[in-house]
Chains A and B, each alone.
Chain A
Amino acid sequence: MKVDWIALGTVFAVSIAVVLGLVLLFSVGLRGVSAREAARENGGTGVGGTVTAGLGFAACAAVVLFGIYLIVAA
Chain B
Amino acid sequence: MDASLLVVIVVITALAFDFTNGFHDTANAMATSIATGALRPRTAVALSAVLNLVGAFLSVEVAKTISGGLVDDTKITPAIVFGGLIGAIMWNLVTWYVGLPSSSSHALFGGLIGATWVSSGADAVHFAKVVDKVLVPAIAAPLVAGVVALLATVLTYRLTRSTRASVADKGFKVGQVASAALMSLAHGTNDAQKTMGIITLTLITAGTLPAGAGPPVWVILSAGVAIALGTYLGGWRITQTLGKGLTTIEAPQGFAAQTSAATVIMASSHLGFALSTTHVASGGIMGSGLGRQRDGVRWNVAGRMAMAWLFTLPAAGVVGALAGLLAGRGTVGVVLVAVIGVVVAVVIWILSRREPVRPEHVVDEIAAQSETHKLDVAA
Contacts and interface: CB of A to CB of B under 8 A. Distances in A.
Interface stretch (B99-107, B133-141, B192-200, B353-361): B133-141
Contacts of A28: 159
Chain B interface helix/strand/loop/mixed? helix
A31 B160 contact: yes
A64 B260 CA distance: 12
B270 A71 contact: yes
A15 B148 contact: yes
Interface string A21-63: 0111011111101100110000000000000000000000000
B155 A23 contact: yes
Chain A interface helix/strand/loop/mixed? helix
Interface residues of B, number: 47
B263 A18 contact: yes
Interface of A: 1-4, 7-8, 10-12, 14-16, 18-20, 22-24, 26-31, 33-34, 37-38, 64, 67-68, 70-72, 74
A33 B159 contact: no
A22 B260 CA distance: 10
B304 to A, nearest CB: 27
Interface of B: 58-59, 61, 127-128, 131-132, 136-137, 140-141, 144-145, 147-149, 151-152, 155-156, 159-160, 162-164, 167-168, 171-172, 175, 178, 182, 185, 189, 255-256, 259-260, 263-264, 266-271, 273
8 contacts: A10-B271, A18-B267, A19-B151, A20-B151, A26-B175, A31-B160, A71-B59, A72-B59
A3 B137 CA distance: 10
